[in-house]
Amino acid sequence: MIFGILIIFLTLSAGIIYKLTIDLRNIDKNGGVKISEKEALASKKIEDANEKSKELTEKISQRLTLTEERIKDKEDFLKEKESTLEKRVQNINERSDEINQKEAHIKKEEDGLVEIENSYFENLYKMSGKTREELEDDLKKIWSLDLSDYVSRKVKQSETILQSNLEDRVEDEVYSILPEAATDYYAESEITTAYYSDIPEKKQILGDDYIALEVIKELTQVEILEDENSRIIKISMHDPIRREVAARVLKRLAREKINPDRKLVGKYIKKEKAELAKDIKRTGDYVCKLLDLEEVPQDIRMIVGKCKYRFSYGQNLLKHMIEMTYLGERLAELFGADVHISRLACFLHDIGKLVAEEGEQHHHISAELVKGFNDSDVLYNAIIAHHFDIDAKYIESEIVRIADSISGSRPGARRYSAEEYFEKIKALEEIASSRDGVKKAFAIQAGREVRVLIDQNKVDDKGADEIAKNIAKDIEDKMTYPGIITVVGVRETIAKAKKDAKDD
């Protein structure tokens, strides 16, 4: 740095001398300026140069002094740091010596405890007359029994608490969801009924020898239940579309009140089939737009439209699908699942009921149909697993199961015939009675609860809990039912005590 300043100084001096030389050369050569004036001018310039040189020298000296002071300050700071580090190293060495001494002391104490432990066990073996292995086996048996009872009690307490909390939470959530999701239902079966004001009107509308009924049966393959002395005609058919066509033709004949022939009835059947096809398409398009599921292709929409005319236990299939879509949306939001997949799976889970395939279950058909336009494995499993014959791999699959149970089991959603009811009760009691250790089983509360009487001579309290759980699992595996079925195991315990009388 000093060397650089000196170079600058010399450069400035040389510049000043050079300028003086040039000025002297430029003086008027014809004697316009006197020699004494030239000398005076030169002398002044030299003085100015000397002044500037002195000023520059002082500035350089000041900077050198400042630099030296800074260097000294840094050296002092580094010496202070070095001293601090030396003290820290000394402290660490002292702590290390203390730790080594403590470790040695602890090691000595541990050796002493090992000797005491060995002496204790030797005395224990002598007093018991058993070896170490034999004593360990005895202790394991005792601990195992005590721990097993303790764990069993704790598990049962935890299950009770969790079940209570879960039921309260689920009840609150379901009650909050149902008012928004529920749709109206009306009772319906596989029989459609047509009414006439009187028997003469009925004969006029249906034609000579009831020709209209014959043509309808022939072209739609429905079964017509008719009594000449009754004002009622019943149409029976498992295919809802054929049954709907037949019902529409009868209504049209009743409106027009003309004496029909075979040709006219056949014409009406064709017209009603065409009108019904348009209505099915409109319904499918409307519902998909209503639920914001525009991705559903046209062939699936046609199946959706047909669901309007399909009923299961009195529950309209299309309304069941719509209700489940709303339920699935709310449940997905509640559990943090994929809302769109949950809604789509709930909406299309039952469309397989409208596509008859020999030996195939409807939910398997539904899953394959949906896979044709959406290959999501989550969506596929959510649909195919909703009847529990396939394992649920995703939370969306469980949501479809829950929504299906809520929609099917809520009050007023479905109805059963007396025959179906008794078959359900009988099946529940047979499943419960098949378990070893069960005396009798009774299905009560319309099949919502199974009361099981346990043989107290064969099964203890812990075994009674296991039997109840196994029966519940058997019911879940072997039956299809809406809602929850509770299994209650009842085991009677009788305590007896005898005391001999004393003579006074």
Q: What is the 3-state secondary structure (H, E, C) of 322-386?
A: HHHHHHHHHHHHHHCCCHHHHHHHHHHCCHHHHCCCCCCCHHHHHHHHHHCCCCCHHHHHHHHCC
Map residue 443 onto helix, strand or coil: strand
What is the spatial distance between Cα 489 and Cα 432, in angstroms, rounded to a whole number?
A: 10
Mean pLDDT of 304-329: 88
Token reading at 206: 């249906």
What is the spatial distance between Cα 465 and Cα 486, in angstroms, rounded to a whole number?
A: 13
Read off the pLDDT band of 486 (50, 70, 90). confident
Mean pLDDT of 374-380: 94
Mean pLDDT of 69-85: 86
pTM for this one?
0.52
Return the higher-pLDDT residue of 301 and 492. Answer: 301
**pLDDT, tens digit (0-9, with 9 covering 90-100), for 133-188:** 777 777 677 666 555 666 667 677 777 776 666 666 666 666 566 555 555 544 44
Query: Quick one: pLDDT at residue 31?
Result: 46
Mean pLDDT (the chain, rounded) = 79
Token reading at 205: 């509308």
Token reading at 241: 């579309």
> 120 pLDDT exceeds 80?
no
> 97 pLDDT exceeds 80?
yes
> 359 pLDDT exceeds 70?
no
Q: Look up residue 147 and give its amino acid.
A: L
What is the spatial distance between Cα 482 and Cα 480, in angstroms, rounded to a whole number?
A: 7
Query: Whose CA is closest to 159, among 464, 403, 469?
Result: 469
CA 229 to centroid of chain Cα atoms: 60
Query: Quick one: pLDDT at residue 30?
Result: 43
What is the spatial distance between Cα 500 and Cα 504, in angstroms, rounded to a whole number?
A: 13
Mean pLDDT of 41-67: 82
CA distances from 152 to 145, 157, 399, 471 (A): 11, 9, 31, 19
Query: Whose CA is closest to 313, among 175, 431, 410?
Result: 410
Read off the pLDDT band of 272 (50, 70, 90). very high
Query: Quick one: pLDDT at residue 117?
Result: 78
Query: Quick one: pLDDT at residue 379?
Result: 95
Q: How many residues does the chain have?
A: 504
Most confidently modeled of 1-5, 209-213, 293-297?
293-297
> 246 pLDDT exceeds 80?
yes
Map residue 312 onto helix, strand or coil: strand
What is the spatial distance between Cα 277 and Cα 195, in angstroms, rounded to a whole number?
A: 25
Q: Look up residue 259 and give its amino acid.
A: N
Query: Quick one: pLDDT at residue 422?
Result: 75
Query: Quick one: pLDDT at residue 318?
Result: 92
Strands 223-226 and 232-236, by their bridges, are: antiparallel
Return the higher-pLDDT residue of 41 and 326. Answer: 326
What is the spatial distance between Cα 120 and Cα 110, in angstroms, rounded to a whole number?
A: 15
Secondary structure in 3-state letters for 384-441: HCCCCCCCCCCHHHHHHHHHHHHHHHCCCCCCCCHHHHHHHHHHHHHHHHCCCCEEEE
- % of the chain exceeding 90 in pLDDT: 20
> 28 pLDDT exceeds 50?
no
Read off the pLDDT band of 33 (50, 70, 90). very low
Contact 355, 300 (CB under 8 A): no
> 16 pLDDT exceeds 70?
no
Mean pLDDT of 94-111: 86
Which residues have C-beta within 8 Å of that of residue 284, sequence separation ≥ 6?
296, 298, 300, 301, 302, 303, 304, 305
Query: Quick one: pLDDT at residue 32?
Result: 46
Return the higher-pLDDT residue of 83 and 497. Answer: 83
Query: Quick one: pLDDT at residue 369?
Result: 94
**pLDDT, tens digit (0-9, with 9 covering 90-100), for 410-456:** 555 555 555 666 778 888 888 888 888 888 888 887 778 899 888 88
Which residues have C-beta within 8 Å of that of residue 245, sequence separation ≥ 6?
220, 269, 272, 273, 276
Query: Quick one: pLDDT at residue 362?
Result: 87
